[in-house]
Amino acid sequence: MLPPGRDYDEIVRAFRWQVPAEFNIGVEVCDRWAAHDPQKLAIVAVRPDGGADQIGYGWLRETSNRLANGLAAQGVGRGDRVAILLPQAPEVAAIHIAVYKLGAIALPLAMLFGVEAVSYRLQNSGAKALITNAQGLAKVEGLRGELPDLKLVLSIDGPGGGADGFAQTLARASADFTARRTRADDPAMMIYTSGTTGQPKGALHAHRVLLGHMPGIEMPHDFFPQPGDRFWTPADWAWAGGLLDCLLPSLYCGVPVVARRFDKFDPEEAFAVMARHGVRNAFIPPTALRMMRSVPSPQGRHDIRLRTVGSGGEALGAETYEWGKTALGVPINEFYGQTECNLVLSSCAMIGVARPGAIGKPVPGHEVAVIRADGERVAVGEVGQIAVRRPNPVMFLEYWGRPEATREKFIGDWMTTGDQGVVDDEGYFSFVGRDDDVITSSGYRIGPGEIEDCLIKHPAVALAAAIGKPDTMRTEIVKAFVVLKSGVAPSDALAADIQGFVRTRLSAHEYPREVAFIAEMPMTTTGKVIRRLLRAKA
């Protein structure tokens, strides 16, 4: 969608949204390519032994058609929610495509979810069908009595445990299916927020959400797609980042996607996957990038030939940005969004929109501002809440069954994000922290991002998180939770050294007055630090 050019302001002025009245994600990411060339490569599915299967658009079309017929035969139709509890695999793409063709609503669920998280989402959404594997079946075992709306369960590992077999269902169904006509504004998918406060909410999105994402894919990936592009992300396809920042946009553009299941992120294997399978474009969340910093001399051992790397989901930080230029061979283009309205701010080093420590500027087509509580824009350098103006094709339709929460998300036409930010005099946005993450100490408002970026510069620190600990004198003090690099032993002397390291580089009011060493950082399934758990621990 982005017009050609090398001048950001010129591109913004020339940009126009191209959203037709009718649009179906399933047809657009699959059938139009399969009709032209069924053998065209769609997915490179990496096996546990390191080999790979080549999946074409023809396979996706036939598999999704058979599944759409199989689901329809079981009464699944327009508007019904179909839950998908599976890791990265070709079947996941086919299931999404089938659900969209049916006019139903895809409900992606992460494999890392526990029993309670899965149960809540299935209950709250009123899901009519669930497609999973043996591992997922174990999570819903004994829950069927609590899920009166759930009429059908399919397992890709075969029938049993109250589930019908996925392959057997496909075998009984026709390979011909005519996709339902859908408007661009018709519901297509529902992705639950991470629930940092209260129960998670289902953000309902329309088919147009894919088109709304495209400028935010093209900008950080240097005018994606380009000849030879091949996309990979370690992010679960159940997350908006994996699904809408990688899988669906790549298929829409005819770019192959590398699928590789990670039960637990392995930074060494991340380099190996990119080298072995010719990855040219990658979306890697900041926490994963910080873990990859621990891999010694990656370019000397892995022949990676990346064209672009994008990162988002939490603050990247200047330290990781600078590391990436050498270790990955390309600038890391940071971007920003959230489940309700994704990819609205971005960097693009190719056109000179890049600044260490800053997110970037508004993606063409999106009006983004930092606002006060009354909806007015803040002054340059003033901290406020990042907000996006409606209407906007990437913006969610509503929170499922939560009209009041939907209304509370807006101040006038500004959709609030709950994220504190600041804009400089050149229009660059910087992330300060979540509303509830900002630390108030001795009258200062302190964002955790700058402290954490400084902490990981210390030679002993692998990962770090900063939170506010209640304090009678200062309201809060900064407390740092630190995961040390392999082979480094915790000690009081090391804690003091880390405190001094931050104090001399930032300021006396920002350094952590307490340092706690932990073996593992608590993180969400999307790779974000769960600071509320650290606050409770403090």
Is residue 510's pLDDT more than 90? no
The pLDDT, as a whole number, for residue 291 is 87
- pLDDT, the chain, mean: 94
CA distance 424 to 450: 16
- Residue 433 in tokens: 């922290």
Predicted confidence (pLDDT) per residue in 299-326, tens digit: 788 999 999 999 998 788 888 999 999 9
Predicted confidence (pLDDT) per residue in 425-439, tens digit: 999 999 887 777 878
Exposure class string for 267-297: b at 16+ Cβ within 10 A, else e = bebbbbbbbbbebbbbbbbbbbbbbbbebee
Angle at 84 between CA 83 and CA 88, to 5 degrees: 165
DSSP 3-state of 42: strand
CB distance 110 to 527 below 8 Å = no
Report CA-CA distances (Å) from 315 to 185, 200, 285. Answer: 31, 22, 9
CA distance 532 to 538: 10
- Which residue, among 315, 361, 328, has the nearest Cα to 453 in the 3D structure? 315
Is residue 502's pLDDT more than 60? yes
Band (525; pLDDT cuts 50, 70, 90): low
CA distance 183 to 329: 42
**Reported pTM:** 0.86
Band (443; pLDDT cuts 50, 70, 90): low
Mean pLDDT is lowest, of 135-149, 205-219, 280-294, 518-532, for 518-532
13 phi, psi to nearest 5 deg: -65, -35
Interstrand relation of 332-338 and 308-311 (parallel, antiparallel or unpaired): parallel
The secondary structure element, H or E, covering residue 69 is helix 57-73
Burial class (CB in 10 A: 0-12, 13-18, 19+), 220: buried
- Residue 476 in tokens: 């809060």
Class for the domain spanning 437-537? alpha beta
Compute the radius of gyration of the chain from its Cα atoms: 23
CA distance 372 to 189: 32
The pLDDT, as a whole number, for residue 199 is 78
DSSP 3-state of 85: strand
Predicted confidence (pLDDT) per residue in 225-259, tens digit: 999 999 999 999 999 999 999 999 999 999 999 99
Scanning the structure block, which residue is given the tokens 């006038």?
412
CA distance 246 to 44: 13
Q: What percent of the chain has pLDDT over 90?
A: 79
CB distance 486 to 452 below 8 Å = no
